[in-house]
A and B are shown apart, each in its own frame.
Chain A
Amino acid sequence: MREVDPSYNALILSTLFRALDRVGMNPMLIARNASELLSKLFEGPAKQIFCGRLPSTVEELLTQIEKLGISRAQEKSEHSFSNGVITMKTVDCIYLPLNAVGKNMGYRGCPMCVQTLLLAGSLKALNLGEAKDIRLENNENTCVLKLEMTEK
């Protein structure tokens, strides 16, 4: 399998995300709509990302997402879930080139956080809950995501 240069991928994704942002598509809206397709894929080929067993709790989902390799420093990454708030700290995210391109475009970081999209989309797709509010902070190579959700 050919491996794409992360900078090139960042250029494609940021261009797409910024274009979406300009036409009024925010991450929450996209995640909600993407969840329907994700749920279809999770029952089929995408089940493999969860090692063949779909997460049945938020905690399981967070553990599995952490294992996907989005963070290149998994030992420094953390997650927690309490009172309907998910907190995920990602160190050295594989999508950091997207952050750099995003900053060039005038954003504070990534135009849209890929991990947030995946998490919010998966929550709904797996019928675990729904994202209500998302806050993201980026400090050099560390990102902290706070996702407030309604539980099912």
Chain B
Amino acid sequence: MSSRLDPFIDALIFCTVVGSLDKMGLNPMLLARQAGREMESTIGASIKRLLGVNPPSTLEEHCKISEAFFKPAQTADPDKTKVSCSGNVIIMEIVDCAYLTQAELGRSLGYNACPLCIQAFCESALTKAVNIAEIESFQVERNKDTCTVKIKLLEK
């Protein structure tokens, strides 16, 4: 028996939960902000465990750590996926995302792609959790197997 999750079941759960919350008026940004607070308590230990490093102190360091996260997590191609920053924007070029099944299901529910981009959600929550910045908004563009996520940060 596989120890891994069936991506379809996972996508089904995530899509229906997030989609129904969206219908109730809980938008993704609100969720990401709330989740950042929750992640704060667990992420420090997780970063150390997964990467063997301490939480970052600058945005550049944060981007490097975020990029390195793709190796153990395998949520996208770790060799092609890039995380960088420009001014107060984090830019993620995500290749071969593990959650692409969710994008297909999202379309069946009337969304352009995923009801909530998990990568943007995680990066936003992580950014808040390590106290690098507050998130203003995020934007996702999909082009075949590559998604570009732009996370706009509030100036501190």
Q: In the docked arrangement, what's the CA distance between A38 and B98, Å?
A: 21
How many residues on the B side are at the interface (Cβ–Cβ under 8 A)? Answer: 53
A34-B16, A34-B19, A46-B105 given; A2·B98 CB < 8 A: yes
Render B102-127 as a binary contact track against A, CB cut-off 8 A, 1 for contact: 00110011000000001001100100
Q: Is the CB of A12 within 8 A of B121?
A: yes
Which of A8, A37, A73 gathers the greatest number of chain B CB atoms within 10 Å?
A: A37
Q: In the docked arrangement, what's the CA distance between A5 and B13, Å?
A: 17
Q: Tell me the residues in window 26-84 of chain A with beta carbons closer than 8 Å to chain B beta carbons.
A: 30, 33-34, 36-38, 40-41, 44-46, 48-49, 68-70, 72-74
Q: In the docked arrangement, what's the CA distance between A41 and B8, Å?
A: 12
Q: Which residue of A lies closest to B8 (CB)?
A: A49
Q: In the docked arrangement, what's the CA distance between A117 and B7, Å?
A: 17
Q: Is the CB of B104 within 8 A of A5?
A: no
Q: Is the CB of B13 within 8 A of A8?
A: no
Tell me, rounded to whole Å, the shortest Cβ–Cβ distance linking B115 to chain A. 9
A20 interface residue per 8 A CB criterion: yes
Residues of A within 8 A of B16 (CB): 34, 37-38, 41, 121
Residue in A22, A73, A94, A117 whose beta carbon sits within 8 Å of that of B17 in the complex: A117
Q: Is the CB of B5 within 8 A of A101?
A: no
Q: In the docked arrangement, what's the CA distance between A9 and B74, Å?
A: 10
Q: Tell me the residues in window 4-43 of chain B with beta carbons closer than 8 Å to chain A beta carbons.
A: 4-10, 12-13, 15-17, 19-21, 23-24, 26, 30-31, 34-35, 37-39, 41-43
Q: Which residue of B lies closest to A94 (CB)?
A: B5
Q: Is the CB of B10 within 8 A of A6?
A: no
Residues of B within 8 A of A68 (CB): 6, 9
Q: In the docked arrangement, what's the CA distance between A16 and B16, Å?
A: 13
Tell me, rounded to whole Å, the shortest Cβ–Cβ distance linking A9 to chain B. 6
Residue in A6, A19, A41, A69 whose beta carbon sits within 8 Å of that of B38 in the complex: A19
Cβ contacts A to B, 15 pairs, < 8 Å: A1-B98, A2-B97, A4-B5, A4-B73, A8-B73, A8-B75, A19-B37, A36-B20, A41-B16, A41-B109, A70-B9, A72-B1, A105-B41, A118-B12, A118-B13
* B interface with A by C-beta (< 8 Å): 1-10, 12-13, 15-17, 19-21, 23-24, 26, 30-31, 34-35, 37-39, 41-43, 45-46, 50, 72-77, 96-99, 101, 104-105, 108-109, 118, 121-122, 125
